[in-house]
């Protein structure tokens, strides 16, 4: 559904060149949900603006929804939906009219536009709000209206720019449910940009991590986690037995980053769960009492941190 090779784009800022996107390769299969993750300024928005025909690439090739981006941008535009941040719905127009008008603008007949609007608003739990002006909707409802506006012409491919930014966690989870359901019902391919690692982890079949203008890693969330980081094991050990514990842990196959902590020892291994039984036996044999054992599996946050040196800025906000 998307194939891109060597996509590039630079800008000139105050007379100086900025290489925003420096040769991006992407492969997204039909029906997949793909996500762009990466720190601020990585080049995600610039890449999506190129793929959605809003910005002409400086170089490279891409086929988007079956059309060549360089030679047939209008063909691409007719076959994609795009839900940008902050400029979707109109505050003063009625919800139903907005969606129906959008459908008509895409060339649907009156009856079909009305039928599609009804179905989509019902799918997105907006039925009953048709006569309300956009400004009276809640944040989550407005995001769902934005989705309806981007999807009413049933595009095979839809781009969502930070679809749940600014929503509380309940509305966010609700919108994820809708996005996953729409993909299932309509068979759409979804390409989303997000700062929420949990969003990529929950929704995406394939994640592209961008940093400094290039894709530094691509794969399923599980593949990325397995590739980049190992499990983190924390073992509680009384102070007097720490030295012996460190010796045992350092001798374990695959153990790295062995360190002493306030309560015991900590280290990484590729597969923490299988290490626990032999570890406990070895500690016991060395006369060490393990007071607790915790295995933490890597998160996409670990992946992002390892690959880009930066954790997600928004993830920190969401904890606060
Ligand atoms: N229109 C523009 N003019 C000049 N520079 C730009 C323009 N658009 C983007 N850039 C620069 O290109 C680089 C990549 O920006 P981009 O917005 O694509 O990153 P991003 O990954 O989407 O970041 P964010 O997560 O903050 O949205 C940045 O250095 C940015 O300042």
120 token code pair:
């989509």
Ligand 1 centre distance from Cα of residue 43 (Å) = 6
Ligand 1 centre distance from Cα of residue 113 (Å) = 36
Ligand 1 centre distance from Cα of residue 168 (Å) = 26
Residue 88 pLDDT: 65
Q: Is the pTM of this model over 0.95?
A: no
Nearest to 304 by CA among 294, 291, 315, 293: 315
- Give dist(CA 302, CA 283) in Å, integer: 28
Residue 186 pLDDT: 79
Neighbouring C-alpha atoms within 13 Å toward the C-beta of 225? 17
Q: What's the length of the chain?
A: 320
Flag whether pLDDT at 74 surpasses 90.
yes
Q: How confident is the model at residue 316 (pLDDT cuts 50, 70, 90)?
A: very low
User: Ligand 1: which atom is nearest the Cα of residue 210?
Assistant: 21
Average pLDDT for residues 171-185, to the nearest whole number? 84
* Class of 2-225 in CATH: alpha beta
Domain with CATH 3.40.50.300 in the chain: 2-225
Residue 317 pLDDT: 34
Which residue's C-alpha comes closest to atom 6 of ligand 1?
11
Highest mean pLDDT among 53-67, 88-102, 145-159: 53-67
Helix axis angle, 139-151 to 169-186, nearest 10°: 20
The ipTM is 0.95
Beta bridge partners of 67: 64
Domain with CATH 3.30.70 in the chain: 230-297
Highest mean pLDDT among 44-58, 88-102, 302-316: 44-58
State pLDDT tens for residues 294-305: 998 877 777 777
- Topology given in CATH for the domain delimited by 230-297: Alpha-Beta Plaits (3.30.70)
Residue 5 pLDDT: 96
Residue 163 pLDDT: 85
Lowest-pLDDT choice from 14-23, 69-78, 97-106, 169-178: 169-178
Flag whether pLDDT at 280 surpasses 50.
yes
């Amino acid at each position: 559904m998307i194939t891109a090779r060597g996509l590039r784009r630079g800008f000139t800022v105050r007379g100086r060149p900025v290489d925003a996107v420096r040769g991006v390769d992407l492969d997204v299969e039909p029906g997949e949900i793909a996500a762009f993750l990466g720190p601020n300024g990585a080049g995600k928005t610039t890449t999506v603006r190129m793929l959605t025909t809003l910005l002409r690439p400086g170089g490279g090739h891409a086929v988007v929804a079956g059309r060549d981006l360089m030679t047939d941008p209008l063909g691409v535009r007719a076959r994609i939906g795009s839900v940008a941040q902050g400029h979707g719905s109109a505050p003063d127009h009625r919800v139903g009219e907005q969606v129906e008008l959008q459908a008509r603008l895409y060339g649907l007949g009156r009856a079909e536009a009305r039928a599609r609007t009804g179905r989509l608003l019902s799918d997105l739990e907006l039925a009953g709000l048709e006569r309300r002006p956009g400004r009276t909707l809640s944040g989550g409802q407005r995001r769902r209206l934005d989705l309806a506006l981007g999807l009413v012409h049933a595009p095979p491919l839809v781009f969502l720019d930070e679809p749940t930014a600014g929503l509380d966690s309940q509305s966010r989870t609700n919108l994820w449910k809708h996005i996953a359901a729409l993909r299932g019902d309509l068979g759409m391919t979804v390409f989303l940009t997000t700062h929420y690692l949990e969003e990529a982890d929950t929704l995406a079949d394939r994640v592209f991590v961008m940093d400094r203008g290039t894709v530094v890693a691509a794969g399923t969330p599980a593949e990325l986690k397995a590739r980049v980081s190992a499990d983190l094991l924390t073992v509680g050990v009384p102070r007097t037995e720490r030295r012996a514990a460190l010796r045992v842990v350092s001798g374990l196959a695959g153990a790295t980053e062995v360190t002493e902590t306030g309560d015991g020892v900590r280290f990484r291994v590729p597969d923490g769960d299988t290490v626990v039984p032999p570890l406990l036996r070895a500690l016991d044999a060395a006369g060490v009492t393990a007071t607790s054992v915790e295995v933490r599996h890597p998160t996409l946050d670990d992946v992002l941190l390892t690959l880009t040196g930066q954790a997600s800025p928004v993830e920190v906000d969401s904890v606060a």
